[in-house]
Amino acid sequence: MKQPGYRPGYCKKMLEYFAQPPQRVEKKVAYYPDGGVKSEEPVLLPAPLPTFQAFAESIGVPVSALMRWRKEHPDFDTAYERARQMQENAWLVNSLAGGYNSSFAQFFGKTALGYGDNTPEGQDTVITVRVVD
């Protein structure tokens, strides 16, 4: 099977794909029974979370090609890291705003972004035990 070819323009395409605003504003419209507009109020909604899977699909390559290009092309690796930061920002903004289901937000943070519940390795934890008679 032929490996998909790398193009330098993919760096710019990836950064543009991930640079979308994390949220969008839509109008919530309430109507009177006769169909007239009663009120309009802006509602802040999360934009779709940009993913490397969707980006790879948009340029017609498997995600494994992105991983290979990171190793072979320093410029692509740098762009990938910047895209990952943009993805993390979108996740953080929408998680804190309650835009994502909390179970999903926690799962994605741990599995895709490396967040965890544990004390970082190499950091001491102090435990105090008090014995009561």
Residue-level pLDDT at 122: 61
Q: Is 40 left (phi over 0), alpha (psi -120 to 50) or beta?
A: beta
Give this prediction's pTM: 0.76
The predicted-structure confidence for 80-117, as pLDDT tens digits, reads as follows 999 999 999 999 999 999 999 999 999 999 998 888 87
Residue-level pLDDT at 123: 65
Residue-level pLDDT at 124: 63
What is the domain partition of the chain in residue ranges?
A: 9-20+49-111
Distance CA 105, CA 110 (A): 9
Residue-level pLDDT at 72: 97
**Residue holding tokens 């762009």?**
79
Strands 23-31 and 37-46: antiparallel
Residues in the chain with pLDDT values less than 70: 1-2, 118-131, 133
